[in-house]
Structure 1
Amino acid sequence: MKVQTVATYRSDLPVDDDHPYRTGAWRPQHTEYDAWDLDVIGKIPEDLTGTYLRNTETAVFQPIKRYHPFEGDAMIHSITFGGGEARYANRFVKTEGFLAEQQAGRALWAGIAEHPSNAIAEHGWGARGMLKDAASTDVIVHRGEALASYYQCGELYRLDPVTLEDRSVSKWGIEYSGRGVAAHPKVDPHTGELLFFNYLRDDLNLGYGVIDADGELSTYVEVPFPGPRQPHDMAFTENWTILNAPSLYWNVEARAAGYFVNTFHEDEPLRFALIPRHGSAAEVRWFEADPTFILHLTNAYEDGDEVVLDGFFEHNPGVWGGGSSNPKYPGFDALAIEAMDARAHRWRFNLRTGQTTEAPTSERCSEFSMINGQHAGRRHRYSYNALGVPGMFAFNGLLKHDLDAGTEEVLEAPPGVFLSEAPMAPRDNSTAEDDGYLLTFVSDVPNDRSECWVLDASCPSDGPLARISLPERISSGTHSTWAPAT
């Protein structure tokens, strides 16, 4: 392996740190690398061509009072494949907040688990206000650029997807009504459009927009909602965009005191807003479903008079507002997939009758699913889901879910080895939905190393075809994407 150190950034985290999300699988790294001629166990497929990107939340400075893993600074990891070779890079996303804290040598913003008044900075971002826009939740590729985003709404920070060169922010000449952009914008590979939503803490409207293949804003609509809500994800079909108003949202009494505490309203249905992709607020179709909170959706498609939506139903959404079994670091039990009891679920919306039907598609806890991106907004058969570690937010296995046959295939990681959300990369000239590879960054804590695994998407339980060494053990994080070279 050939490695070049690009930069190392200062941090004031204690050497003897014992925070569960700054140690072990979540131990942060503060050095940026370029690496090539990577050491490989096995063989990198010759027909794997493109770039795998992952966003990780990286702790840099001690918090003003309390650290939450979702507010770590964004570090993007990129591994590019072609001709049986791979090249790796990692970079911090140079957000305005990251640069300001590096200059100050300390944390300047209160985290999501703190009262906003704790902030030292004079201004902030996010739907609730006075947060640091960490850009550390999601990463997608649109029009040849990687876009890093923050789940509480922020800027879309642009990077070269291969070199991770900083390209500032995407505004498309607008300010999104002051809302920013939420963390799960979607790219339709068939049209080249990017779809997004945004919101503010006191606004009854949810913003919905479309950026066309030329990078211009073609649609922006204010969708009336039943009250201020914080949806986390969206989906789309060929003709419809699907937004949701969850049954879990900020507690009104706590908000009056300046706190942001989630409460599950079990007597309020989950509401879905279906809007034509370039439609108006008057064309929104509302559908009701069983109360829950949706963290992530898998995909959606049209089937005759119905729109079919796959995602994950939380059978214990109230845990988001609950406590913790660790009194020193409270509030983290909710982050475990098993704690929220998330299971694959399917909703069907009948556009003719206005009725919703729904049912589980799996009895196993899983989340963070990926599909073959060529099927986004179109009918899909397979999803590739992450399996959670009990008691913490981390992944220790992958599950291939055949939604037509109702079967599941599992790859379990060895003890102390943690995987990442695994995008599906179709092989060059692929001929079937699962004809390609799964990619996952792996953190092996007992052996203090990280690798990128390449798995056969048709039978991932067979184990990696290739294990590619990385320069340093990387931290756990949230989302990832695959961008074909084209």
Structure 2
Amino acid sequence: MAKAFPPELTSGMDEPCRFDLEVFDLEVVEGEVPADIDGLFVQAVPDQVYLPDVPVLYPMTIAAGGDGAVRAFRIKDGCVDFRTRYVRTERFELERKARRPLFGNYRDPFSDDPSVAGKDRTTANTAIYWHAGRMLASKEDGLPYEVDPVTLETRGVWNAYGAITSHTFTAHPKFDPDTGEMFGFGYAARGETTRDIAYYVIDAAGKVTHEAWFEAPYSAMIHDCALTEHYMLFPIMPITSDLDRLKAGGPHFVYDADLPQVFGVMPRYGSADEVRWFRAPHAFPGHTINAYEQDGKIVFDLLETDGNGFAPVVPDKNGAPMPPDGLTTRHVRWRIDYRADDEHLVEREVLAIVNGEGPHIDPRRQLKPYRHVFVPTLDRGKLATDVNGRPYPVMFNQLSHFDLEAGTREDWYPGPAATFQDPVYFTKSADAPEHDGYLIATLNWPLERRSELVILDTLELARGPVARLRLPVRMRLGIHATWFDGAEIPTWR
């Protein structure tokens, strides 16, 4: 029997939803859905079905440990249909059959019920991507699950015809738009807290064409990666895992401010002995933006935070709190010479102060020089407060466009106490300029416990949505969103 959820899970917008749902033809309450939009807006959502039965429920379990659901909006002919459905992972099916929680804290098999020892723990709740004609839902602690892009029914674990033997696979693989190859990896590839990394190149047909195994300098999260014409990059985050801590009932990850930034770099089809580990002064590397090669060097752009970027969910090793004024996130550019004698990085340039996460660029500019970036951001000066002067819990209260060449930004702020989920960006046509497209996002209004879908024209971002659509249920906070062009996705009607 499902037990009542505790207050930390039932206050505000992020109370678990616990349903599969379909809504045909969403209600347009303002403007019109542009007729030229044809595609699928999907988002991975952690949504607890059963709360883990553990002595200590860690924040990372609440934020990122929930069962994975796929939230999907099919947009075509000026209409929008909506479906959300749980990914039927092995974990989901075992708990549903038992009608009780069987799995414990985030990435902690020692907190599980003995009956599920050795079972697949992943929830496939972090990101969704498309490869070899398949829609894949993934969380970096296991292998992806294939999901039908129309019905959202689960087709099963995807392992590239059995060739992926790593225990894990990234939720952020990279793709070569010219060859159709997918470049991915699994960290903790031989089991939780190990230093093993398994690297795979998978061709357009879904077959592994290259594999390399090597070890990271220490056991830590490697959430994202980057790809250039000749190289693959692995940014190691300063949040480490430890087997003894896990066995003792501690959290899986702990932030360590004493560690430097470490970027692993290897040739695209390289071997273990070709991996180089470049180091830089401490900072928290967030999501990558883009990477390409120029004048014999790797140009690597990413978001960088000057402290614990996961502070709300990952504790500090020394118990240090987050600064009262918050952290600063910057768009940073590194230049890396793979052939240099010295592995200490010095060529760093700050391109913009962002204070946001989840960057999006024109997909056509991947692996190439680019100019425009779209990011959900936070303006702390616009945070609404309650009667006691405390700010309402808002993650991102703006959608922002950064023009790197002009050095300008444009924002759309929807109003007090509104918070954005991860948007998607795509251009209006195959030959449209890099910045001429649409931003689509779920916008939550926590005080009203409601959500809406907004569509913005990026040429007039500050004017606000060209269309707002009412969502008849609140949308729990999801993680990463993706856009699939309609040419790849069957119509739903």
**What TM-score results when the alignment is normalised by the length of structure 1?**
0.86
What do residues 139-188 of structure 1 show as CA deviations (whole Å, max 9, x unaligned)? 1122332211113x212011122331322121112363442212222233
User: How far, CA to CA, are the matches of 1:345 and 1:391 in structure 2?
Assistant: 29
Paired residue secondary structure (1:442): strand
**TM alignment of 1:302-381, pairs within 5 A:** 302-317=293-308, 319=311, 321-322=314-315, 339=326, 341-351=328-338, 353=340, 356=345, 357-381=347-371
Is 1:90 matched with 2:84?
A: yes
What do residues 90-118 of structure 1 show as CA deviations (whole Å, max 9, x unaligned)? 111111111111122221111128x6433
Give yes or no for contact 1:13–1:60 (8 Å, CA) kept in 2: no
Select between 336-345 and 268-277 the one with higher mean Cα deviation. Answer: 336-345
User: How far, CA to CA, are the matches of 1:337 and 1:358 in structure 2?
Assistant: 27
Give yes or no for contact 1:110–1:119 (8 Å, CA) kept in 2: yes
User: How far, CA to CA, are the matches of 1:338 and 1:91 in structure 2?
Assistant: 38
2:124 corresponding residue in structure 1: 135
Relative to total residues, which structure has the larger strand share, 1 or 2? 1
1:226 corresponding residue in structure 2: 217
Aligned CA distance change for structure 1 residues 263 and 72 (closer, same or farther; 3 Å): closer
Paired residue secondary structure (1:368): coil
The counterpart of 2:157, out of the listed 150, 157, 169, is 169
- Aligned identity (percent) is 28
Letter in 1 for 2:443: V
2:73 corresponding residue in structure 1: 79
Paired residue secondary structure (2:96): helix
Paired residue secondary structure (2:91): helix
1:269 corresponding residue in structure 2: 260
Give yes or no for contact 1:194–1:211 (8 Å, CA) kept in 2: yes
2:12 corresponding residue in structure 1: 24
1:145 corresponding residue in structure 2: 134
Give yes or no for contact 1:184–1:233 (8 Å, CA) kept in 2: yes
What do residues 249-290 of structure 1 show as CA deviations (whole Å, max 9, x unaligned)? 235873574634544444442221222222222333432222
Paired residue secondary structure (2:84): strand
User: How far, CA to CA, are the matches of 1:264 and 1:284 in structure 2?
Assistant: 25
Give yes or no for contact 1:316–1:339 (8 Å, CA) kept in 2: no
Aligned CA distance change for structure 1 residues 11 and 257 (closer, same or farther; 3 Å): closer
**TM alignment of 1:109-258, pairs within 5 A:** 109-112=103-106, 116-123=109-116, 132-151=121-140, 153-174=141-162, 176-200=164-188, 201-250=192-241, 254=245, 257=248
User: How far, CA to CA, are the matches of 1:69 and 1:338 in structure 2?
Assistant: 22
Give yes or no for contact 1:49–1:428 (8 Å, CA) kept in 2: no
Give yes or no for contact 2:265–2:276 (8 Å, CA) kept in 1: yes
Paired residue secondary structure (1:409): strand
What do residues 303-361 of structure 1 show as CA deviations (whole Å, max 9, x unaligned)? 1212111111121128465379xxxxxx9x87x99855432222111245456311322
RMSD: 3.0
Letter in 1 for 2:460: C
User: How far, CA to CA, are the matches of 2:123 and 2:182 in structure 1?
Assistant: 21
Letter in 1 for 2:162: I
1:300 corresponding residue in structure 2: 291
Letter in 2 for 1:475: R
Instruction: Tell me by how many angstroms 1:121 deviates.
Output: 4.4
Instruction: Tell me by how many angstroms 1:202 deviates.
Output: 4.5
The counterpart of 2:44, out of the listed 21, 43, 55, is 55
Give yes or no for contact 1:60–1:72 (8 Å, CA) kept in 2: yes
Aligned CA distance change for structure 1 residues 283 and 310 (closer, same or farther; 3 Å): same
Aligned CA distance change for structure 1 residues 251 and 31 (closer, same or farther; 3 Å): closer
User: How far, CA to CA, are the matches of 2:195 and 2:298 in structure 1?
Assistant: 26
Letter in 2 for 1:295: G
Give yes or no for contact 2:160–2:206 (8 Å, CA) kept in 1: yes
Paired residue secondary structure (2:110): helix
1:396 corresponding residue in structure 2: 397
Gaps of 5+ in 2: 384-390, 488-493
**TM alignment of 1:273-292, pairs within 5 A:** 273-292=264-283
What do residues 389-444 of structure 1 show as CA deviations (whole Å, max 9, x unaligned)? 87857332222122222222222232332211111122134421111101101223
Paired residue secondary structure (1:322): coil
Is 1:101 matched with 2:108?
A: no
Gaps of 5+ in 1: 1-9, 325-330
Give yes or no for contact 2:288–2:302 (8 Å, CA) kept in 1: yes
1:406 corresponding residue in structure 2: 407
Instruction: Tell me by how many angstroms 1:11 deviates.
Output: 4.9
Instruction: Tell me by how many angstroms 1:48 deviates.
Output: 1.2
Aligned CA distance change for structure 1 residues 178 and 37 (closer, same or farther; 3 Å): closer
Select between 425-434 and 132-141 the one with higher mean Cα deviation. Answer: 425-434
2:372 corresponding residue in structure 1: 382
Aligned CA distance change for structure 1 residues 109 and 184 (closer, same or farther; 3 Å): same
The counterpart of 1:70, out of the listed 55, 64, 73, is 64
What do residues 29-57 of structure 1 show as CA deviations (whole Å, max 9, x unaligned)? 22222222321121111211111101111
User: How far, CA to CA, are the matches of 1:440 and 1:321 in structure 2?
Assistant: 26
Give yes or no for contact 1:451–1:470 (8 Å, CA) kept in 2: yes
Instruction: Tell me by how many angstroms 1:248 deviates.
Output: 3.3
Letter in 1 for 2:35: E
User: How far, CA to CA, are the matches of 1:92 and 1:234 in structure 2?
Assistant: 27
Aligned CA distance change for structure 1 residues 93 and 263 (closer, same or farther; 3 Å): closer
Paired residue secondary structure (2:273): helix
Aligned CA distance change for structure 1 residues 202 and 457 (closer, same or farther; 3 Å): same
What do residues 196-234 of structure 1 show as CA deviations (whole Å, max 9, x unaligned)? 111224533311111110110111111332132321111
Give yes or no for contact 1:236–1:301 (8 Å, CA) kept in 2: yes
